[in-house]
Structure 1
Amino acid sequence: MSSLISISKRNIISSLFIFSFFGHLKIRLGDIKLATNNFSDTYTIAFLDGECTLYRAELHYFDKENPSSEKGKNKGDHPKGHNIVVIKRGNQFFGEEELFTEIEMLSSVEYPNIVTLIGFCIEDSETILVIENGSNGYLRNYLGNDNDMRILTWEKRLKICIDVANALDHLHSEIEDQKMIIHRDICSCNIGLDENWRAKIDGFGDCVFLPPNQEDEAVYINPHGRPAYIDPEYEKTDKLKRESDVYSFGIVLLEILCGRSAGDPIYLKENDKGLGPVARQSFCTGTLEDMIDPILKEETSECNFVQKRGPNKESLHTFMKIAYQCVAETQDQRPTMKVVVKELEKALSFQVSQRSKPLIFFIHMQNAC
């Protein structure tokens, strides 16, 4: 009973804190219902593992960049402004506590590869977060769909990976006052893609803030994460470190390489933890290349002298090696995100440097004739 009371008190304190400091971001439920036609399926864009439903809609909301425009309005009214946004509506597994964590996190950290918070709604038992629109959806929606995966050339996939890696490096080591943030739920469901295919991390409801001067310290907290992405050492010992995010990101790298989600039945047949252990074993036996997305293999084998879309050998091997290192079984065997960023940028440079070689070869052959 006492634990329930303490949880209740904490929620009340959190509510007061949120409304005191972030009240200007509050959006009325009526406005959200109007924008989505009462949460109509027409506006639904995704279901995130039963935790929340995502809607894309044109919302009239308070313009925080121009607060003076609120003059003359009734109290609580939002000025008219047309904006396409993503509305993240939680269910019983996404409550106020997760919402408060996301608001605190997204309000304190601004970064090009982290989603921007627009507003929130806590009303009539609804917990809703409103974030910027990623017009190209979420990475998870592309995996396993051949038509969609064809859009993601190897170079584009590398750039998406680098975007996410930079965001994680920022969270792990570059926050003001040396405070670190561990995301704790890195997965393809939480990687949005904007109109320019820039990747942005979302889903901060379970993130953990670490105080300054704890760079190499662990936090002992009940394991959280999706089965196919969770750090095995964290799952066994409750020891959460930055390297736990590195493992989850390594799984995302493997998903992008293989073109399938980590929990695809094809991997679960071999191991109940999905893609990670299967790919790790394949790397050790030298057969990981057999698992890569067939679309990438097609693009590599195309006789296209103008543009080589698929991965070249150096780029592919650099990528596979760093992905393997990220999903090492123990935390101390994994690289930091700074190292990961460096290796992914190296893989991209190999790819870009090879881009014009087929054309040069073609011109040379024409001249020789």
Structure 2
Amino acid sequence: MLSDLKHPNIVSIVGFCDEQHEKIIVTTYEAKNGSLKEHLSNPNLTWTQRLKICVGLARALSYLHYDQHRGYGVIHLNVNSSTILLNENWEPKLSGFKVSIKQSLNRMDHVVLSEPIGTIGYLDPEIEKSKGVACKSDIYAFGVVLFEILCGRRAYIRNDANRLLAPLVMQHYENETLPDIIHPDLKNQMSGYQISVRSLRIYLETAYSCLKEERSHRPDMLSIVNELEKALEKALRFQPRPENFVRPFLVFCFSLRL
């Protein structure tokens, strides 16, 4: 399967070893800047850079789920900020395929009976109900990553009162208090009105839709790629206003209409 995957945002296989009880998969070294997990709270990682990482990852997952050239789809099942590597240009490279499942393209939305697979904090809540996984299990995990990037914190913090990020952001989103938990350095950009309001709104709506409890209510990766590309385009086109037009952060928050 890995030898079939050829995408700029997926690690490339070099070869493998299977001898003398050694089973090793060798991939290209794509982590010059480590994993995304190490940079969630990086004050130097700008909104535009974060968006580019999200778009690259979304394209990788769309390729896994829908590429027609392979004749089958791939459910990754281990999407998290540790399996997203960052190369020297801060481009994302998805890795961690050890629990991935191949599935016929016309059955990607069907449930594959399985024990819960994945990482705590990213697990699809429908797995227990359906007794299996589906491609939209990846969508849920991807939504968690989107909020990790926005909030600058990990999906699961063992000794924190709010250990799990997903229910925390859902609560804040629905109470219209999400700006309270946005990464402080992104807040500074927002308070200076240095990012597009529309870009952030598209991002928030997309991330929230990925975390819908019912799989049927979550978008597919093709739609997600389209929305995140629009968010990135608007962020790149936005030009900061002159200093005398800078809005206070409170006004900015209201303009999001969460």
Q: In structure 2, what is the Cα distance between the partners aligned to 1:129 and 1:138?
A: 19
Match of 1:295 in 2: 185
Displacement of 1:222 in angstroms is 1.4
Aligned positions, number:
244
Residue ranges of structure 2 left out of the alignment (5+ in a row):
244-258
Q: In structure 1, what is the Cα distance between the partners aligned to 2:2 and 2:189?
A: 38
Match of 1:157 in 2: 50
Match of 1:221 in 2: 114
Match of 2:251 in 1: none
Percent of matched pairs sharing the same residue:
39
- List per-residue Cα deviations over 1:189-244 (Å, max 9, x = no partner): 11011111111110001000012432432211111111100100013332311110
Asked if residue 111 in structure 1 is aligned to residue 35 in structure 2, the reply is no
TM-score normalised per structure 1: 0.62
Residue in structure 1 matching 2:76, options 183, 187, 190: 183
Displacement of 1:299 in angstroms is 2.5
- List per-residue Cα deviations over 1:61-80 (Å, max 9, x = no partner): xxxxxxxxxxxxxxxxxxxx
Match of 2:168 in 1: 278
Does structure 1 conserve the Cα–Cα contact (< 8 Å) formed by 2:9 and 2:56?
A: yes
1:301–1:212: structure 2 CA closer, same or farther, 3 Å change rule?
Answer: closer
Asked if residue 258 in structure 1 is aligned to residue 164 in structure 2, the reply is no
Displacement of 1:112 in angstroms is 0.8
Does structure 2 conserve the Cα–Cα contact (< 8 Å) formed by 1:177 and 1:212?
A: no
Match of 1:139 in 2: 36
Does structure 2 conserve the Cα–Cα contact (< 8 Å) formed by 1:178 and 1:213?
A: no
1:177–1:194: structure 2 CA closer, same or farther, 3 Å change rule?
Answer: closer
RMSD between aligned alpha carbons? 2.1
Match of 1:349 in 2: 233
Q: What's the secondary structure of 2:82's corresponding residue?
A: helix
- List per-residue Cα deviations over 1:306-360 (Å, max 9, x = no partner): xx3xx33211111111100001111011000111111111111221121x343xx
Displacement of 1:178 in angstroms is 3.5
Match of 1:25 in 2: none
Does structure 2 conserve the Cα–Cα contact (< 8 Å) formed by 1:185 and 1:206?
A: yes
Asked if residue 129 in structure 1 is aligned to residue 21 in structure 2, the reply is no
Q: Using CA pairs below 8 Å that are at least 6 residues apart, which structure has the higher relative contact order?
A: 2
**What amino acid is the match of 2:5?**
V
Bigger radius of gyration: 1
Residue in structure 2 matching 1:316, options 185, 190, 200: 200
Q: In structure 1, what is the Cα distance between the partners aligned to 2:156 and 2:134?
A: 23
Q: In structure 2, what is the Cα distance between the partners aligned to 1:128 and 1:108?
A: 18
Asked if residue 242 in structure 1 is aligned to residue 135 in structure 2, the reply is yes
TM-score normalised per structure 2: 0.87
1:251–1:301: structure 2 CA closer, same or farther, 3 Å change rule?
Answer: same
Residue ranges of structure 1 left out of the alignment (5+ in a row):
1-104, 363-369
Does structure 2 conserve the Cα–Cα contact (< 8 Å) formed by 1:319 and 1:344?
A: yes
Asked if residue 327 in structure 1 is aligned to residue 207 in structure 2, the reply is no
